[in-house]
Amino acid sequence: MLNNYFKVAWRNLSKQKLYSSIKIGGFALGIAACLLIALDIRHELSYDLHYPQAARIYRAVIDWNMPNARNAYFPAPFASALKNDLPEVEKAGRFLYSELFGAGNSQVRRSDQAQNAYEDGIIFADQELLDILQVPFIYGDPAHALSQPNTIVITKRKADKYFPHENPVGKTLIINDNKDKPYEIGGVIADFPVTSHLQCDFLLTLKGVELWPGEQTYWLANNYQTYFLLRPGTDVAKLRTKLSAIREKYLLTSAQQTNNAKIIEMFEKVSFDVQALKDIHLKSEGINDGLSHGDIRLVWLFGAIAGFILIIACINFINLSTARSAGRAKEVGLRKTVGADRGSLIRQFLSESLLFSFLSFALGLLLAWLLLPYFNALSGKSLSLPWNAWWLAPLLIVAVIAVGLLAGLYPSLHLSSFQPIHVLKGNISQGNRRSRLRSVLVVFQFTTSIALIIGTFIIYRQMRYILDKKVGFEKEQVLLIQGTNTMGDRVPAFKKALLQVPGVKNATVSDYLPVAGTKRDDNLFSEEGKTAERSLVSGQIWEVDHDYIKTMGMHIVTGRDFSMNMPTDSQSVIINQTMARQLGLKDPIGKRITNTNSFWTVIGVVEDFNFESLRENIRPLCLVIGRGSSIVSVKVSTADMRGLIPSITAVWKDFSPHQPIRYTFLDQRFARMYTDVQRTGRIFSSFAVLAIIVACLGLLGLSAFIAEKRTKEIGVRKVLGASVSNVVVLLSKDFLKLVVIAMVIASPLAWYAMQLWLENFAYHINVEWWVFILAGSIAVTIALLTVSFQSVKAALMNPVQSLRTE
C-alpha cells in the first residue's frame, strides 16, 4: 500500500511540473537557509564547551556601580584570596591581557636569529589557568610549564613557525629585542579552537612578574582577569554572597588603611559577581574585558529569520496544494466511491508531502553546500557541514519526516474532506478560488519579507551614519605605525625623522587611540577638595605627547594645548567637555583634579570626541603628558599614499632593520569597530532577498493557477473588447491588495523591532516614514512583476483557444 502511495505521488509530481518545481524549489531554499543559520547558531552556542571542566569554570566580575564601570579586572591577590578563603573554589588562576601593558604589539624571534616577526596573541598567565582550562599539551609538562619565572607556553602553530619539525621545549624566544630577558619554552599546547573566547598563541608566565614593586600584594589596583574552578555540587548563588566577605576583608580594609575619603568612597560602592565560562562569549554585554564577543540577541534573531523563511516555504506548499484541490476533487470522489476511507486518503496525501519534503531536503542540502562559502564570507566565519558527524543523518531523517508531516497535514485534511456528491455538483472549484486561508498565508509571507526589507534599509542607513558621522577627530589620512616600542629610547628620533618626509604634516606618539582595541586606563576622578557624595567620576586617563591633539585634528574649546615651552605642562591636564560637565566645572581652566594618586591643573578643554563605539555615550577623559611608545600616528597632507609609504618604510628600516614595518590607517581601524553591524546588514539583506524569492515563487504558482482557472472568462472578456491591460489589472488586483495589507502590517512591526535594535547605539538615525514606503513599493513592484508574468501570458492568449478550455 505504501508503495502505491508513493507511485501515485510521483505520478502527480511528474504531471504538474510547474507546481512541483515551485513547491520543491521554495522548500529547498527555505531548508538551505535554515541549515546555514543552524550551522551559525550551533557555532555560537558551542563556545568554550570543549574545555573538559567547562560546567564548573567561572570568572569574576566587578561592578563599580557607576555608568560604564562593570568589568572583569581584579587586584593581583584576588585569586589567592578566593582559593584560601572559599572552600568551594578548587583552583583559581589569572591572566593579564598584554595589550594593556604593551606586549600585545610585540616582536618575537628565536634567540639564535636576528629577524623579528610581529605577534599579537600574547598574554601573561598563571600556571593555575592552564590547570583550570586543561588545554591539551603536545610537548612539555602540563603541571609545571609556567611554574618558573621567564617561561612561556606557545601553541602548535607558533611552534611550527619558529621551530619546524622539532620539540622546542627548553629553547628560548626573545620578545621586543629584550636580550636580557629571554623566555624559555616550557610547553607546546594545541591551538585554541575558534570556539574559545580566549584566543592567544603565547602565554608568558606571571611567576615573578610585578607591574610595580609590591603590586602582587596590592588590593587597590585592578589589572587581572580571574578564573576559578568550583568543586562539584557548589551552590553558585551562595558563593555570590560569600564574595562580599572577601570584598570587606581585603578590599575595604585596604581602602580604609589609606585614610583617604575618596578611596574609601570609591571602594565602598564596589560589588563582586561571577559569570559562567559558557556565558562569556554571548552574554557579556556591558562587561569590559578587552575580548571579542558575540550577541545572544543576534543568535535568536537569525534563528527567528530562518524559522520564518521555512514557514514561508511551507505556506507555498499549503497554498498550492489547496489551490489545486479542485483538480484533485474528482480523484478523491472516485476513491471514496470505490470504498476508500478518509484515513487512507490522508495517508495518501501525507505520502505525497513526505516525497516533496525528501526531494526538497536533498536539494536544500545541495544548495546549503554550494552557498556555504558565500555565507562564510557574509558572517566572517569558517563554517562547514558536519558530514562525518554521527547525528547528521538521523537528524535529517527526523527533519524530513517532521517538515513533511507539518506541511502536508492541513492539505491532506482539507483534500480528504471532500464529499463525492459535492464533487459531482462542481461546488469545489468556486470555494477554493477565493480561499480566505490562502489570502492570510500570502499576507503572512509578504509581511515577513517586507519586514526584512525594512530592517535591511535601516541597518544600512545606520552603518552609513556611523561611518560618515563627525566624531570629533580627523580619522582620514592618519597612518598608524605599530610596534615602535621596540625602538626604545629612539622613538622620539624616529618621530623627528618622519617629520622630514615630504607629505608628512604631523606625528604623535601614544599607546592610546580614539578607536577600540587600543590601550585604555580607567580611573575615578574628582575635583580637588570636593568630598560631597557622588563627587567621583569614572573616566579615562591617556598618556599622550605634545602633538597629539594637533595630529588627531581635535579642537580645544577653551584654554590651550600642551606646549613644549611650558615645563609645568608635565603636571597639567586637558579634559574633554564630558569630564568638565560631570565634575561640575563651569570654568575649568586653572582648577585642580585628582584620581586619588596624582593631582593635575586643568589647562584646556578639548571638544568631545568618540573614542569608543557609537553604541556608547562619550565618557569623561583626561589627557596628560606621558611616554607611550607603541604607536606612532602620522598625519599626512598628500593623497599619494603609494609614493609616501616607501619613504616612511625607508625611515623605519634605518631605525629597525630586523623587523618589518606594520601600518594601518585610522579610518580603517574605526570602520573595523563596526564589522558586526556590517555583517548583520549583509546577512539581513541576503535573507530578505531569499524570503522575497520564496514568497514570489508561491505568488507565481497561485497566479498561474488563477489564470488557468479563469481562462474562459478571459476569452469572453477579450471577445467583448477588453484590452490586455484590462485583463492584467483583473488578474493582479487581488494579489496586490494582499501585498498592500502585508505592508500595513509589517511597517509597525518592523518599526518596533528596529527601534529596539537602534537602542543599542547611543548615536543613531531616526526611522523615517519613507523607508516603509520604499520597502513596500519594492515588494509591490516585485509582486506585480511576478503576477504580471502569468497575467500578460493569459491576456495574450487567442480568445478562440481560451473559449475551448474547461
340 or 295, higher pLDDT: 295
Distances (CA, A) of 77 to 103, 217, 223: 22, 6, 11
Which residue in the block uniquely carries the three cell numbers 606586549?
103
pLDDT at residue 319 in the model: 73
SS3 of 372, please? Answer: helix
Which range is most confident: 9-18, 48-57, 204-213, 614-623? 48-57
Span 45-97, pLDDT tens digits: 999 999 999 999 999 999 988 766 788 999 999 999 999 999 999 999 999 87
Mean pLDDT in residue range 307-331: 72
Give the 3-state secondary structure of residue 169.
Answer: coil
Whether the pLDDT of residue 155 is over 90: the answer is yes
**pLDDT digit string (tens) for 159-192?**
999 999 999 999 999 988 788 889 999 999 999 9
Of residues 417 and 393, more confidently modeled? 393
Cβ atoms of residues 548 and 523 within 8 Å: no
The Cα–Cα gap between 497 and 502 comes to 11
CA–CA gap between residue 702 and residue 320 (Å, rounded): 7
Average pLDDT over residues 116-129: 89
DSSP string, 540-569: EEEEE-TTHHHHHT--EEEE----TT-GGG
What share of the chain has pLDDT > 70, as a percent?
Answer: 84
pLDDT computed for residue 687 by the predictor = 82
Residue 426: per-residue pLDDT: 56
pTM of the complete model: 0.81
What is the structure's pLDDT at 304?
86
Give the pLDDT of residue 708: 60
C-alpha cell at 636: 599626512
* 434: confidence class by pLDDT, cuts 50, 70, 90: very low
pLDDT beyond 90 at 595: no
Alpha carbons 806 and 798: distance in angstroms, whole number: 15
Share of the chain above pLDDT 90, in %: 34
Four-point Cα dihedral 475, 481, 483, 484, nearest 10: -110
Q: CA torsion 479→654→100→564, rounded to 10°?
A: -70
* CA–CA gap between residue 75 and residue 453 (Å, rounded): 49
Cell numbers describing residue 42? 550551533
- Output the average pLDDT for the chain: 83
* In the chain, where the domains are located: 1-47+295-433, 54-279, 478-672
Using alpha carbons, select from 448, 510, 350 the residue that is nearest to residue 688.
448
In the numeric block, which cell numbers belong to residue 623?
589627557
Looking at residues 729-750, what average pLDDT do you find?
84
